[in-house]
Amino acid sequence: MDQIIVRGNGPLKGEIPITGAKNACLTLMPATLLTDQPLTLTNAPRLSDIRTMTALLQSLGAEVASLQEGQVLTLSSHDLNNHTADYEIVRKMRASILVLGPMLARDGHAIVSLPGGCAIGARPVDLHLKAFEAMGAQLDLRDGYVHAKAPAGGLKGAVIDFPIVSVGATENALLAATLARGTTVIKNAAREPEIVDLAQCLRRMGAHIDGEGTSTITIEGVQTLGGATHPVVTDRIELGTYMLAPAICGGEVECLGGRIDLVAAFCEKLDEAGIDVTETDRGLKVSRKNGRVRAVDVVTEPFPGFPTDLQAQMMALLCTAEGTSVLEEKIFENRFMHAPELIRMGARIDVHGGHATVHGTSKLRGARVMATDLRASVSLILAGLAAEGETVVSRVYHLDRGYEKVVRKLRGVGADIERIKGVTADE
Ligand code: EPZ
């Protein structure tokens, strides 16, 4: 399997283009199942997760074609001939559960494998299922699959009051509600930009939606939806990740396409840590003010709070800060697996339950480390950029799920980084 080698190489300078959001694209693609008209997504990221979602939709009978080297996806579900999402695909990517709502809404039945857990947590889907039950669906769990059936007249509009904020459950309920009979009100809805993006795309397809981006989303069901062309919103997690490169190495990098509204809470923490962020007419310019990074405390929360998907990357920065920082991970139960790998690089981190206390050190040292999940993998690369000596990151297939051309983008701003193919399986 491939490895990535990073050598500390001093301050970075230049610009990094930010691509379309993985987590927006993964919820936009299933929207094709709601209509027999063509859906075109532009600014799509070229990632393994997108290829997995493509394979899943094709297994259901949808046609998915990628143009312009994958940046444009054309999708059509004119001839769905299968309503079973198989375990072999679903187990690879949890977002596969997002085909359940659209299939239920349009054709009244679906069989979808339960996704199972993943490295960062149990990741149950009970809230998704409760939403569909509230809309009148009958759900049977058998042999690891959800067998779902809508009432004879189709899903009914309902009031869905989520006990906790769930991005995926909000997206699944939103997708399903567009074709339900009557009004659906989603309370305690997630407010992430990816949900706003989904609502905007569904509206282009003819859906009647109000309140996206707030905690209450109201949907008036319609008989049918049409096609649309929709640009995938900028990836705020990729944006935040690359903003941390000049923060941890010094120098100045402009993230093209970056928008401050997508990363406001994150930018507040960067400012506290002594990192300068300036809005330009092309994106966000990031530089480290003089002196060392200052320690800051971080608590991960649903949007608009500090994103859990930037926690690992922020921890890498804080390992080099002056002072002690405390990171509290409130979204997932096991999202500090990058800590032991950072400790191999000389970081001083104490993890107790959902809290990680980071005692900043002036210098990290390169080491052989192992990526454990998508965001952990890129936090190790950030640490390697600032470390003395060489860092070798293995299991980089995690990285390919969510970061397009990471070596090229970082080399473009002066990083000493390379990817070596097919190393012996020491993984
Ligand atoms: C989405 O996952 C993202 N994935 C995650 O990004 C992100 O970390 C997460 O939202 C939180 O922002 C995609 O969009 C594809 P949740 P999701 O439902 O929808 C619990 C990345 O790195 N929960 O908001 O699965 C759950 O266990 C990935 O790109 C239930 O208990 O997250 C978690 O503790 C990682 N029951 C909390 O809610 C449910 O039915 C938030 O999960 C659903 C969720």
For residues 304 and 191, the answer to whether their CB atoms sit within 8 Å is yes
The band of 43, judged by pLDDT with boundaries at 50, 70 and 90, is: very high
Same domain, 173 and 291: no
Residue 427's pLDDT band (cuts 50, 70, 90): very low
For atom 35 of ligand 1, the residue with the nearest CA is 309
Ligand 1 center from residue 167 Cα (angstroms)? 6
- Token pair belonging to 323: 């002072």
- Mapped onto helix, strand or coil, the DSSP state of residue 218 is strand
42 and 13 share a domain? Answer: no
Q: Are 241 and 267 in contact (CB under 8 A)?
A: no
For residue 247, the domain's CATH number is 3.65.10.10
Confidence (pLDDT) at 121: 80
Q: Report the alpha-carbon distance of residue 357 to residue 370 in Å, rounded.
A: 21
Given 231, 262, 277, which residue is the final one in a domain? 231
90 touches 62 (CB < 8 A): no
Q: What is the pLDDT of residue 114?
A: 92
Two tokens at 375? 């965001």
Closest atom of ligand 1 to 373 CA is: 22
Q: For 222-275, write each residue's pLDDT tens digit.
A: 999 999 999 999 999 999 999 999 999 999 999 999 999 999 999 999 999 999
Do 174 and 103 belong together in one domain? yes
Q: Which atom of ligand 1 is nearest to the CA of 125?
A: 40
28: nearest Cα among 185, 205, 182, 149:
205
| d(C-alpha 135, C-alpha 99), whole Å | 16
Q: How many domains does the chain have?
A: 2
Is 305 part of any domain? yes
| Segments forming the whole domain that contains residue 334 | 3-19+234-420
Q: For residue 289, what are the CA distances in angstroms to 20, 182, 213, 295, 383?
A: 29, 54, 33, 14, 19
pLDDT digits over 366-379, tens only?
999 999 999 999 99
Q: Are residues 65 and 10 in the same domain?
A: no
Ramachandran bin of 19, using left for φ above 0, alpha for ψ from -120 to 50, beta for the remaining angles: beta
CA-nearest residue for atom 7, ligand 1, is 309
List 25, 118, 249, 255, catalytic entry: 118
Based on the fold, state whether residues 133 and 245 are members of the same structural domain.
no
Residues 182 and 254 in one domain: no
Q: What is the CA radius of gyration of the chain?
A: 22
Decide if 427 is inside a domain: no
List the one residue out of 75, 42, 401, 12 whose CA is nearest residue 234.
42
Query: Could you tell me if the CB of 128 is within 6 A of ligand 1?
Result: yes
Do both 266 and 195 map to the same domain? no
pLDDT tens-digit map of 44-75: 999 999 999 999 999 999 999 999 888 999 99
Please give the single-letter amino acid code of residue 104: L
Residues 165 and 276 in one domain: no
Closest CA to 172 of 201, 198, 200, 206: 198
| Ligand 1 centroid – CA 291 distance (Å) | 37
Ligand 1 neighbourhood includes 159 CB (under 6 angstroms): no
Residue 423: band (very low, low, confident or very high) from pLDDT cuts 50, 70, 90: low
Helix (H) or strand (E) holding 235: none
Asked if the structure places residue 217 within a domain, the reply is: yes
* pLDDT, position 106: 96
Nearest CA residue ID for atom 8, ligand 1 = 309
Residues whose CB falls within 8 Å of the CB of residue 232, separated by 6 or more in sequence, listed in order: 20, 21, 24, 25, 28, 41, 42, 43, 44, 45, 197
Q: Are 382 and 313 in contact (CB under 8 A)?
A: yes
DSSP 5: E
Q: Span 114-135, mean pLDDT?
A: 88
Question: Is residue 425 in some structural domain?
Answer: no
User: Residue 426 falls within a domain, yes or no?
Assistant: no
Tens-digit pLDDT profile for residues 173-199: 999 999 999 999 999 999 999 999 999
319 is catalytic: no
329 alpha carbon to ligand 1 midpoint, in Å?
13
Last residue of a domain, one of 194, 211, 231: 231
Pick from 233, 331, 377 the residue to mutate for probing ligand 1's pocket: most ligand atoms within 8 Å of its CB.
331
Instruction: Give the span between the Cα atoms of 311 and 316, in whole angstroms.
Output: 9
Please state which of the ranges 55-59, 71-75, 122-126, 316-320 shows the lowest mean pLDDT.
122-126
C-alpha 168 – ligand 1 centre gap (Å): 6
Whether 342 maps to a domain, the answer reads yes
Residue of 23, 133, 235, 301 with the most ligand 1 atoms within 8 Å of its CB, for mutation: 23
Q: In the structure, what pLDDT confidence band is assigned to residue 426 with cuts at 50, 70 and 90?
A: very low
For residues 220 and 251, membership in a common domain is answered with no
| 307 and 269, same domain (yes or no) | yes
Task: Supply the mean pLDDT for the chain.
Answer: 95
Q: Is the domain of 168 the same as that of 305?
A: no
- Angstrom distance (rounded) from CA 333 to CA 336: 9
Closest by Cα among 192, 183, 189, 177 to 215: 189
DSSP state of 345: T
User: What was the pLDDT predicted at 290?
Assistant: 72
Q: Are 59 and 21 in contact (CB under 8 A)?
A: no
Sheet containing strand 183-187, strands side by side: 159-161, 183-187, 216-220, 208-210
pLDDT (tens digit, 9 = 90+) per residue, 396-413? 999 999 999 999 999 999
Domain boundary among 231, 258, 276: 231
Residue 117 Cβ < 6 Å to ligand 1: no
> Rounded to whole angstroms, how far apart are CA atoms 199 and 212?
7
Q: Count Cβ atoms within 10 A of the Cβ of residue 405 and give its class: 0-12 exposed, 13-18 middle, 19 or more buried.
A: middle
Q: Is the CB of 168 under 6 A from ligand 1?
A: yes
Query: Distance between CA 89 and CA 96 in Å, rounded?
Result: 8
Residue 196 lies inside a defined structural domain of this protein: yes
Q: Are 164 and 262 found together in one domain?
A: no
In a domain, 158, yes or no: yes
Return the pLDDT at 122: 76
What is the rounded average pLDDT of the residues 154-181?
98
H or E element in which residue 158 lies: none
Task: Let me know: does 63 contact 54? Beta carbons within 8 Å.
Answer: no
402 lines ligand 1 (CB under 6 A): yes
